[in-house]
Amino acid sequence: MTRIRPFRPDDIDGLSDVCVKTADVGADATGMLEDDALWGDLFAVPYALRDPELCWVVESEDERVIGYLVATDDTEAFATWFRDEWWPSRRDRYRRSGEEQPTAQDRFIGYGDRMAPRADPIAQEYPAHLHIDLLPETQGQGLGRRLIDTLLAELGRRGVPALHLGMNADNHSAGAFYERLGFTRLASGEGSTTYGIRIPAA
């Protein structure tokens, strides 16, 4: 039976695989970048390594990782750690193309290079943030709701007041999902949508 369980260190490859296979607005992004591992090194693996107690995986009957939720309870502290410790340990693996017109990989390397604490008003008011990705075979089982409920319970136990997330503005089904869970839209940049939710104290 499909189940949700806490992250284990041997799940790293599974997190990376799911991240790649859902990175194109929920669809498979394999081959979109010169090195598929960049997806996981930006959006999944560092969260699980920095705070494994805020990472859960969805495991299939045959023990594959088929989904996950990763999070941080302090966005600014995470950004500092990412800039100072994580990205320097990974950065040399990824090379810019040198082309006049940046490639997709160039743009995502730039995202990693720019990661830094920046006193963002949303991060100050909604300090936690998450990334959640589920393969298509998990759909219709309520797993996304269960993962987020699990996270909110742990954040409430830690006394974290609020959570935010950012997503591609074209992912309308995901937006509808978050709104059903009680998330509200916050100020958003071009091409993205940001949602937030208040967390009751445990």
Domain ranges of the chain: 3-198
For the domain bounded by 3-198, which CATH number is listed? 3.40.630.30
pLDDT digits (tens, 9 = 90+) for 3-12: 999 999 999 9
For the cut 80, the answer to whether the pLDDT of residue 202 exceeds it is no
pLDDT at 119: 87
For the cut 90, the answer to whether the pLDDT of residue 173 exceeds it is no
pLDDT at 143: 96
Q: What is the mean pLDDT of the chain?
A: 95
For the cut 80, the answer to whether the pLDDT of residue 32 exceeds it is yes
Provide the pLDDT confidence category of residue 130 given band limits of 50, 70 and 90.
very high
Mean pLDDT value of segment 21-35: 95
> Which pTM does this prediction carry?
0.94
Provide the pLDDT confidence category of residue 1 given band limits of 50, 70 and 90.
confident
For the cut 90, the answer to whether the pLDDT of residue 124 exceeds it is yes
Token pair of 111 as six digits: 């995202």
